[in-house]
Amino acid sequence: SQTIHQWPATLVQPVGSPLSLECTVEGTSNPNLYWYRQAAGRGLQLLFYSVGIGQISSEVPQNLSASRPQDRQFILSSKKLLLSDSGFYLCAWSTTSGGASYNEQFFGPGTRLTVL
């Protein structure tokens, strides 16, 4: 069966510090991968998605970047965190069916990031 892992579960970081959040998927190959953020009091927003190794698309301009060094590994990074980067970060995966994915998405447990 497929599982998705995220770590760390919670993180408190000072403004200006770097960030690295990791997401890994098991039990599937060549998944589409997604990073979402839920800022306090706001809805979920897609940040990045990836359809393959090294292929990253950004949805919104921001202080963050993403990388996919392996098929089932998705990393969210920042060189210098801002207060506005605080939020709940969710990784998700779905199976692929060409460019038009019509598939259920499976969410990781999330990372709660507080930037002070």
Partner 1 sequence: KNEVEQSPQNLTAQEGEFITINCSYSVGISALHWLQQHPGGGIVSLFMLSSGKKKHGRLIATINIQEKHSSLHITASHPRDSAVYICAVQGTSYGKLTFGQGTILTVHP
34 binds partner 1 per the rule CB under 8 A: yes
CA distance 91 to 75: 9
Task: Give me the DSSP letters along 39-77.
Answer: -TTS-EEEEEEEEETTEEEESS--S-EEEEEETTEEEEE
71 binds partner 1 per the rule CB under 8 A: no
The two three-digit tokens of residue 27, written as one number: 């039990």
- Tell me which stretch binds partner 1 (CB under 8 A): 14-22, 64-72, 75-83, 108-116: 108-116
**Which member of 51, 58, 67, 73 binds partner 1 (CB under 8 A)?**
51
Sign of CA dihedral 99, 5, 23, 72: negative
Nearer to partner 1 (CB atom), residue 12 or residue 79? 12
The binding site for partner 1 (CB under 8 A) comprises: 32, 34, 36, 38, 42-46, 49, 51, 57, 59, 88, 90, 94, 99-107, 109-110, 112
